[in-house]
Amino acid sequence: METLIIGPMDPWGPFATGFIGLIFAFILYGLIMKFPAGKQSVVKIGDQIHLGAKVFMITEYKILAPVVLALVLACGLSPLGWYTALAIAVGALSSAIAGFIGMYSATKANVRTATAAENHGQEQALSISFFGGSIMGLCVASMGLVGLGGLFFYFSGAMDDLDKIAKALEGFGVGASAVALFSRVGGGIYTKSADVGADLVGKIEAGIPEDDPRNPGVIADNVGDNVGDIAGMGSDIFESYCGAMIASIAIAATMLDPNLMFLPLWLAASGLFCSLIGIGIVRTQVSRSPAVALRWGTFLSPVIFLIFAGVSIYYSPIEMKYFYSVLTGAVGGILIGLITEYYTGGDTENSPVGKIAKSGETGPATVMITGLSVGMQSVVLPLFVIAGIVGLSTYFSGLYGVGIAAVGMLSTVGITMAIDAYGPVADNAGGIAEMSGMKSEVREITDSLDELGNTTAAIGKGFAIGAAALAALAIIAAYMLAADVEQLSLDDPKVLMGMFIGGSIPFLVSSITMTAVGDAAFEMIEEIRRQFREIPGLLEGKAEPDNAKCVDIATKAALNKMLLPGAIAILSPVIVGFVLGPIHLGGMLAGALLGCVLMALMMANAGGAWDNAKKFVEKGNFGGKGTDTHSATVVGDTVGDPFKDTSGPSMNILINVMAIVSLVIAPLL
Amino acid sequence: METLIIGPMDPWGPFATGFIGLIFAFILYGLIMKFPAGKQSVVKIGDQIHLGAKVFMITEYKILAPVVLALVLACGLSPLGWYTALAIAVGALSSAIAGFIGMYSATKANVRTATAAENHGQEQALSISFFGGSIMGLCVASMGLVGLGGLFFYFSGAMDDLDKIAKALEGFGVGASAVALFSRVGGGIYTKSADVGADLVGKIEAGIPEDDPRNPGVIADNVGDNVGDIAGMGSDIFESYCGAMIASIAIAATMLDPNLMFLPLWLAASGLFCSLIGIGIVRTQVSRSPAVALRWGTFLSPVIFLIFAGVSIYYSPIEMKYFYSVLTGAVGGILIGLITEYYTGGDTENSPVGKIAKSGETGPATVMITGLSVGMQSVVLPLFVIAGIVGLSTYFSGLYGVGIAAVGMLSTVGITMAIDAYGPVADNAGGIAEMSGMKSEVREITDSLDELGNTTAAIGKGFAIGAAALAALAIIAAYMLAADVEQLSLDDPKVLMGMFIGGSIPFLVSSITMTAVGDAAFEMIEEIRRQFREIPGLLEGKAEPDNAKCVDIATKAALNKMLLPGAIAILSPVIVGFVLGPIHLGGMLAGALLGCVLMALMMANAGGAWDNAKKFVEKGNFGGKGTDTHSATVVGDTVGDPFKDTSGPSMNILINVMAIVSLVIAPLL
């Protein structure tokens, strides 16, 4: 392979950068561990959550291992070969490690956040929880570089043919997306079923407060935050992040340009450095104003990244037109984030959230109608932005532009993911404070941290959907090149058939995951009711609940329910590809992409808006807590939960899994 | 033009058949009018409904007239020319006449149904209401043949070039779809806002029963049934029916085959005869069992049609392969109908409807989640069937196959529409019975008739969506041929951009129409409250409500709110086509088609399932009326109302309007 001369880096550069990122993550972990975990009762609860999350993820990985092994063997024995098989294994392992470390550190950070809030106040609590989130962010970015960068380095030494290198790397995407799919869907089902179960029996039936230690479901609820909102989300973003790079590499390979193959890794490595800078900004500015610190971190990192990327591409042999595509992607990502914030984060009566809250005055039905309407409307502008990104990025640099735009959007994933993951850590700390009977001011601090995180996280969520859409689109583009179909024209009935079939898949998977939450919650409800009934003295606080049993039930239920959507995602492109053919499959991917993006945005934004409408009422608007208006918005929030935390997010992965599986099997069709 | 030698018919045949259909409609009208309207109080209420519906439609047409006139002038002065302009005018006029006659007769049939139910029982009541619905069905089928068939006859004499004839006929689709769009959306908003307004103030605030004559909103509510569920639905189906024919003609023109151009009209004419037979079957079998009669009518008409079509094509110079496409369409339509029935019409605890009802035990939130889940799931199989129809029909006879399959599905529209329209007539009769204080048995009879209609109508609704999708697809195929774009490949960024933009349009329109219902209902609520407050003695039954004022408010609100969605539907393809280009527009149509079909099915089926879940509980299941479970299902039903009667149905027309406008402007791009 030709020597790559982008800036000062060699092919081993991204791999090395990944290790540097991991070192920083471990330094942050050390910093967190220096803070005291707190008194005995706090430590005990923290340990239960930590253990529950660990058990869930290990059980999950045990179920996943044979699936991945089967994929590896099937791939190795097929004409795709053992290089691709190796990449599948590395991809799965990298994603699993990132998720596990993230969850592990988060469950260490949460107790320390609670204790810090109790003893030292908001600033220290924010630091610890933000460090906790940052570890997840850094692990995602770093493991991507270590895994994918390492394979790139290895393959570029072992193989001469650019096409073969790219083909082998695709396996990484399959591994990563398989893990992401199961983590996101399983974690999403876990977290919401535990949440719903604990709330329904505890708050409504037994009349005890949220996060009350007597409730056997609350530990499971808190475990859910860690496995769903942290590990699940991490593997989700990991998948888009690597998918975008893999797609760009695959397209660059068909252009026979090794520099363009290396560019995504180089950009991601630069982005990791910029994320480190961003984390530093947040850390140093936090004492002035936490809200401003988070916002600056979110916006400055991409800006620094763009300057850095622009300058280094300018002085490299790569044409500047590719930078313009990167720019398009990064700006587009921020735009989608801001639109998402508008629809889900408003706090005036005339904002979409305010309108939903107001509609609570006429009951739950109007809350539903208004919320669904907001969700549907919130789809429009992001899709226009995506269309704009597609148009501009390809105008600058062809189909490769779409891929590299997605890379541009995702390269500062370290900081975006850090802010996303910090909210659940703070939320968890609040739960621990409640359970261990800390005074109410502690809860107020953690609540304010959580809220702060939610607003910034809204931007990250929109970002994630936009990035996933673009990554999937790039993979689909790579598929079309790989499948060697002359054209996928819309007047070809095969394409249309595929489109209709593909469009139905996101609806099917959403339907399954929505009911899965209900079914899993039902088992949880039965168990909590049983414990209240059968354990003497539990409600009086004289006996201890059997938390482990609830964790176990939620684990089994979630993992059980994730199999069907997982099988649909992996098998549907295989079946359509082999039974109907590569042209049908191309149409199917297009239909599924559109359906997934539409549903992901609609569900995530409607869910977020309902959540905040409830909070808006709870702040005293339209009568405040305890009124019928409030109850009406609670209904909205309950419907919004599976929307925004289970079904909505699984759409991102669904399309990416379908796309990457198609890309890998393309030469066999 | 060459002589056409299909069977015994000439180009004037369909035109003449249309007249025969109209004569039968007038005979049915005569039969209805022979029945007594009833006592003074009944006649008075009936007259108010009749007048209100007439005023709405005339006002609507007055708003529409300048829009249509503008389209006619713009078209005539453009290179498209005056033949197309003439067709626009005829299309709009035909649709308007069909809708008006249908509404006019329905509002004559409803009083007579009520009186018959009071004096003679179920059988006579069923006959009258079914006749009322049949007039709408026959008018749709007949006016299509009179208008489109007449133009075909005229143009084939006036022009020599097949392409020019087809091009001119496309104008008919524009006119018909413009009227359909405004009727369906305006009617949908009218009917639901009046319904919600009357119910909310009357039932909940004032505590008086549904359809109580003291409630100033109930007349408007009943008017709504006629303008929304009868006239609106009629113009909707009219549009798909004619759209399918026009698309087939356009594709046949590019194949330079005059026989294939004539085939859709010939099939539609045959279908009209078969619908007449079907209406006869229902009429003669009704005394045995009404349910069986309606079912036989629905299924036998297409069977007879298929035999007829198969035999006549066999003996014509047209190849049999075209018949197989017709067969595919007709069978597919029935399949979609049956799937729709499964999802919305179940009456056991394990059916989807039963599950929604059961989820009411845990409150409105779970009703929403289960209902949305059912709605999403209900999308899957119909899309597979559509994919199958596309695959098979094109396998048999290329792109023309899609169009002629849609014609096959829709040719027995006379009977399908008759059954669809009969339900609202019966429902209206029930309202009249209630308002005029007839004894409760009368209401029971009309309720049983209504329910009977609902089950069979579910089949018709699925049918309508499938047919609309196929018709739109055929128009899009015609567009691709007309726009003369070499290929619309999915790896072309222009196509992808268009797809993303197009996919967002159905979400935007749904969002607007959902809130429009709420806003319009709000004005209604204010007015009803005002009357209760300011008219002395109204609640005691000593004074009369100002019904006309409510009708007026609903009319203005609905017509006001229909303008924005209407403008989006007509202008979005024009803007994308002229600003971005024909390739973007092609992608946009594909995206919008997929989005519209998905949303149409999801919303219609979720809405239908929620409605029936409420009714299922009202029959005494899960505690029956008055329980919390019942209240929870009422919330589902309220959300389902705009889903199934406003936003969902407007999706069908949206895509057809976008497609036909694109087809017409294609040569200008």
- The partner residue sitting opposite A387, judged by closest CB among B501, B511, B590, is B501
Mark yes or no for CB contact B504/A379 under 8 Å: yes
Helix, strand, coil tally for chain B in percent (to 5) = 85, 0, 15
B6 in any annotated domain: no
Mark yes or no for CB contact A518/B379 under 8 Å: no
CA distance A648 to chain B (A): 13
ipTM above 0.90, yes or no: yes
Identify whether the C-beta of residue A175 lies closer than 8 Å to the C-beta of residue A74. no
Q: Binning pLDDT at 50, 70 and 90, where does residue B7 land?
A: very low
Q: Binning pLDDT at 50, 70 and 90, where does residue B8 land?
A: very low
Burial class (CB in 10 A: 0-12, 13-18, 19+), A564: middle
Condensed to tens digits (0 to 9), the pLDDT of residues B288-334 reads 777 788 878 878 888 999 999 999 899 888 899 999 999 999 999 88
Identify whether the C-beta of residue A122 lies closer than 8 Å to the C-beta of residue A446. no
CA distance A368 to chain B (A): 7
In chain B, what residues touch A374 (CB-CB under 8 Å)? Answer: 511
- The partner residue sitting opposite A390, judged by closest CB among B374, B377, B497, is B497
What does the DSSP 8-state code read for residue A145? Answer: I
In chain A, what residues touch B376 (CB-CB under 8 Å)? Answer: 507-508, 510-511, 514
> Can you give the pLDDT at residue A457?
66
Condensed to tens digits (0 to 9), the pLDDT of residues B376-392 reads 999 999 999 999 999 99
Burial profile B467-501: b = 16 or more Cβ within 10 angstroms, e = fewer = bbbbbbbbbbbbbbbbbebebbbbbbbbbbbbbbb
Ramachandran area for residue B348 (φ above 0: left; ψ -120 to 50: alpha; else beta): beta
A1 in any annotated domain: no
Q: Binning pLDDT at 50, 70 and 90, where does residue B89 land?
A: very high
**Both tokens assigned to A42:** 């706090």
Mark yes or no for CB contact B591/A587 under 8 Å: no
Mark yes or no for CB contact B515/A639 under 8 Å: no
Identify whether the C-beta of residue A435 lies closer than 8 Å to the C-beta of residue A45. yes
Residue with tokens 């990944």: A18
In chain B, what residues touch A387 (CB-CB under 8 Å)? Answer: 496-498, 500-501
One-letter amino acid of B649: P
**Both tokens assigned to A37:** 């975990």
A339 in any annotated domain: yes
CA separation for the pair B419, B414 (Å, rounded): 9
Name the phi and psi angles at A3, rounded to 5. -75, 140
> Can you give the pLDDT at residue A3?
45
Domain range enclosing B300: 17-668
Instruction: Give the side-chain half-sphere CA count within 13 A for B309.
Output: 36
Mark yes or no for CB contact B518/A366 under 8 Å: yes
Mark yes or no for CB contact A586/B490 under 8 Å: yes
CA-CA distances (angstroms) from residue A328 to A241, A412, A486, A601? 17, 15, 29, 20
Identify whether the C-beta of residue B324 lies closer than 8 Å to the C-beta of residue B400. no
Three-state secondary structure readout of B415-438: HHHHHHHHHHHHHHHHHHHHHCCC
Identify whether the C-beta of residue A336 lies closer than 8 Å to the C-beta of residue A302. no
In chain B, what residues touch A594 (CB-CB under 8 Å)? Answer: 499-500, 503, 591, 594-595
Mark yes or no for CB contact A387/B476 under 8 Å: no
- The partner residue sitting opposite A383, judged by closest CB among B494, B503, B510, is B503
In chain B, what residues touch A515 (CB-CB under 8 Å)? Answer: 369-370, 373
- Collapse the DSSP code of B580 into the 3-class scheme (helix H, G, I; strand E, B; otherwise coil) and give the result: helix
What is the sign, positive or negative, of the torsion defined by CA atoms of A598, A603, A605, A606? Answer: positive
Mark yes or no for CB contact A598/B504 under 8 Å: yes
CA distance B543 to chain A (A): 29
Query: DSSP states of A402-423 as a string?
Result: HHHHHHHHHTTHHHHHHHHHHH
Closest residue in A to B397 (Cα–Cα): A493
B336 in any annotated domain: yes
One-letter amino acid of B225: D
C-alpha closest to that of A455 among A335, A300, A611, A315: A611
**Both tokens assigned to A552:** 């176990």
B9 in any annotated domain: no
Please report how the helices B82-119 and B122-144 are oriented relative to each other, as an axis angle in degrees rounded to 10.
Answer: 180
> Can you give the pLDDT at residue B3?
45
Mark yes or no for CB contact A508/B376 under 8 Å: yes
CA distance B498 to chain A (A): 7
In chain A, what residues touch B638 (CB-CB under 8 Å)? Answer: 365-366, 369
Radius of gyration from C-alpha coordinates of chain A: 24
User: Per-residue pLDDT for B2 more than 60?
Assistant: no
CA distance A474 to chain B (A): 10
Secondary structure E strands in A314-399: none
Condensed to tens digits (0 to 9), the pLDDT of residues B56-67 reads 899 889 888 998
Q: How many domains does chain B have?
A: 1
Closest residue in B to A642 (Cα–Cα): B369
- Collapse the DSSP code of B213 into the 3-class scheme (helix H, G, I; strand E, B; otherwise coil) and give the result: coil
Identify whether the C-beta of residue B521 lies closer than 8 Å to the C-beta of residue B192. yes
Closest residue in A to B491 (Cα–Cα): A477
Number of A to B CB contacts under 8 A, please give it: 210
In chain B, what residues touch A497 (CB-CB under 8 Å)? Answer: 387-388, 390-391
Residues 6+ apart with CB under 8 A from B257: none
Q: Testing the interface with A: which of B400, B465, B504, B585 to mutate, by most A Cβ within 10 A?
A: B504
Closest residue in B to A507 (Cα–Cα): B376
Identify whether the C-beta of residue A390 lies closer than 8 Å to the C-beta of residue B497. yes
- The partner residue sitting opposite B387, judged by closest CB among A379, A491, A497, is A497
Mark yes or no for CB contact A369/B494 under 8 Å: no
Name the phi and psi angles at A489, rounded to 5. -85, 145
Residue ranges in B436-578 assigned as alpha helix (H): 440-483, 493-534, 547-575
> Can you give the pLDDT at residue B1?
40
Condensed to tens digits (0 to 9), the pLDDT of residues A492-540 reads 889 999 999 999 999 999 999 998 887 888 888 888 888 888 888 888 8
> Can you give the pLDDT at residue B521?
82
Condensed to tens digits (0 to 9), the pLDDT of residues B555-574 reads 888 888 888 998 999 999 99
Residues 6+ apart with CB under 8 A from B325: B392, B393, B394, B396, B397, B400, B401, B402, B404, B405, B408
Mean pLDDT in residue range B361-365: 87
- The partner residue sitting opposite A383, judged by closest CB among B500, B515, B598, is B500
CA-CA distances (angstroms) from residue B606 to A565, A600, B185, B640, B648? 21, 19, 19, 7, 10
CA separation for the pair B574, B579 (Å, rounded): 8
B12 in any annotated domain: no
Mark yes or no for CB contact B594/A639 under 8 Å: no
Closest residue in B to A389 (Cα–Cα): B497
Residue with tokens 């085939």: B263
CA-CA distances (angstroms) from residue A259 to A147, A313, A369, A453, B512? 19, 11, 51, 38, 48
CA separation for the pair B381, B372 (Å, rounded): 16
- The partner residue sitting opposite B372, judged by closest CB among A359, A514, A586, is A514
CA separation for the pair B506, B592 (Å, rounded): 6
Burial profile A362-396: b = 16 or more Cβ within 10 angstroms, e = fewer = bbbbbbbbbbbbbbbbbbbbbbbbbbbbbbbbbeb
Condensed to tens digits (0 to 9), the pLDDT of residues B399-410 reads 899 999 999 999
Residues 6+ apart with CB under 8 A from A489: A495, B487, B488, B489, B490
Number of separate helices (H) and strands (E) present in chain B: 21, 0
Closest residue in A to B513 (Cα–Cα): A373
Instruction: Give the side-chain half-sphere CA count within 13 A for A280.
Output: 8
A5 in any annotated domain: no
Name the phi and psi angles at A80, rounded to 5. -65, -35
In chain A, what residues touch B383 (CB-CB under 8 Å)? Answer: 500-501, 503-504
- The partner residue sitting opposite A504, judged by closest CB among B379, B515, B590, is B379
Mark yes or no for CB contact A490/B494 under 8 Å: no
CA distance A598 to chain B (A): 7
CA distance A352 to chain B (A): 12
Mark yes or no for CB contact A372/B200 under 8 Å: no
B141 in any annotated domain: yes
Mark yes or no for CB contact B384/A504 under 8 Å: yes
CA distance B110 to chain A (A): 31
Residues of chain A with pLDDT under 50: 1-9
Q: Testing the interface with A: which of B254, B368, B561 to mutate, by most A Cβ within 10 A?
A: B368
- Collapse the DSSP code of A489 into the 3-class scheme (helix H, G, I; strand E, B; otherwise coil) and give the result: strand
> Can you give the pLDDT at residue B457?
66
Residue with tokens 């929109």: A462
User: Per-residue pLDDT for B111 more than 90?
Assistant: yes
- The partner residue sitting opposite A590, judged by closest CB among B363, B387, B490, is B490
CA separation for the pair A54, A50 (Å, rounded): 6
